[in-house]
A = this chain, B = another copy of it.
Amino acid sequence: MFSEIETPCLVLDKGILERNAARFLRRASERGVFLRPHLKTSKSVDVAKIATGGRMSGVTVSTLREAEYFARNGFDDILYAVGVTQNKFERIRRISSETGKTILVSTDNLVVAEALIEFATRTGFRFQTVVEVDCGEHRGGLAAGDRELVRIATLLNGSPCLDFQGLMTHAGHSYASDAASEIAKIADAERNAAVDAATAIRDAGAACELVSVGSTPTFLHAPSFDGVTEVRSGVYLFFDLAQFSRNVCTISDIAVSVLATVIGHNRRGRALILDAGALAMSKDVGANDFLPDAHYGYVCDPVSMGRLGSLSIQTVHQEHGSVSVDDDIWFERLPVGSMVRILPNHVCMTAAGGFGKYLVMNDGQIVDEWDRIDGW
């Protein structure tokens, strides 16, 4: 089936994607919380429509290129979940003005808040804003008890030139554990930080309608969403070995793989050489903390998707991936020119490697090609 296809190539199993999407939408509905899927993993309008159940609004992005692409393709209510800065204001204004779609921007900084008000006042463009809360990852955001957070929220809320919507936080440190009990604790801390911050902001007289949390692990393990209005999981649409290694999914939940060709046999070094290297797979090995044999990805049969022995890509150069073999039988089973599919270590990084599109499969057949939007 794949023999004429040029490799490396990103393959997306639509059936698995739909199952993952439906599972999370169902869970959100059961827990009484809005699911605002993060599209930084998929960067695809076709995936987004499945992720939202057809609703053309309420999504999360990590670049303005994504924001622009989704807005121009009809999506509204787009949360840009990376701290905004002054050099990005004009593009946001242009996208919103030209499409009529809303882009929510986030900050944890007083200088930026003042600059947002200044720009809004000067141009008449009405930003929709949230503040970012740090719930323990210590990347972006201010602590729930930080008076600066309330100061920024009330400043934004008090300006007649823009709208203040609420707050967001992200427990990215939930990826550091593979234990459900530990992830549940982090999820609880994520919720508490969000709710405490919302309370502090409301106590200061500002509205705080949006209380947004989320990562894939904490969404699955959170004991409660009381006081939370929405979650922003994203990688669950595709899953990968990093999520599998943390007991967040099974291997059969992984929807994306890289189709690669065996381009050489290194018989002396006992390795198969693939045309999926550092650019196709990425150099992210986050799964390996809990799954050391993941290396740069599991090597699977291209049709059955069963793993081939214990094969994985163990070394990568820019366009070469080397797969160590413990038995010469692999040189017979996988002649040069034959194909394999690789389950990625960290799919957000792999999918962004420059493929530009997905080869979409359903029930074992190639049914479509979907584009994706990388870069900035």
Contacts and interface: CB of A to CB of B under 8 A. Distances in A.
A353 B91 CA distance: 21
A156 to B, nearest CB: 15
B87 A6 contact: yes
A63 B355 CA distance: 12
A112 B356 CA distance: 28
A266 B139 contact: yes
Contacts of A283: 282-285, 349
B319 A40 contact: yes
Interface string A103-119: 00000110110010000
Where chain A touches its partner, the secondary structure class is loop
Interface stretch (A47-55, A179-187, A202-210, A271-279): A271-279
A160 interface: no
A6 B92 CA distance: 11
Interface stretch (A225-233, A244-252, A257-265): A257-265
Contacts of A328: none
B349 A318 contact: yes
A269 interface: yes
A319 B62 contact: yes
A3 interface: yes
Contact of A275 (B8, B85, B317): B85
A346 B213 CA distance: 35
A88 interface: yes
Given A140-B266, A278-B349, A320-B139, A336 B112 contact: yes
Number of copies: 2
B319 A264 contact: no
A108 B264 contact: yes
A63 B85 CA distance: 36
B112 A337 contact: yes
A91 B280 CA distance: 19
Given A62-B319, A354-B375, A264 B109 contact: yes
Nearest to A139: B320
A320 B64 contact: no
B356 A375 contact: yes
A369 B211 CA distance: 41
Interface in A268-308: 268-269, 271, 273, 275, 278-280, 282-285
Contacts of A339: 87
B86 A140 contact: no
Interface in A330-361: 335-337, 339, 348-349, 352, 354-356
Contacts of A30: none
B269 A138 contact: yes
Interface in A143-163: 143
Contacts of A273: 83, 139-140
A178 interface: no
Nearest to A84: B263
Given A322-B139, A355-B376, A6 B336 contact: no
A263 B82 contact: yes
Interface of A: 3-9, 40, 62-64, 82-88, 90-91, 108-109, 111-112, 115, 132, 134, 138-141, 143, 172, 261-266, 268-269, 271, 273, 275, 278-280, 282-285, 315, 317-320, 322, 335-337, 339, 348-349, 352, 354-356, 374-376
8 contacts: A3-B87, A82-B263, A112-B337, A138-B266, A138-B268, A138-B269, A138-B271, A354-B376
Given A84-B263, A85-B275, A139-B264, 7 more contacts: A5-B87, A6-B91, A82-B319, A108-B264, A111-B336, A134-B268, A140-B263
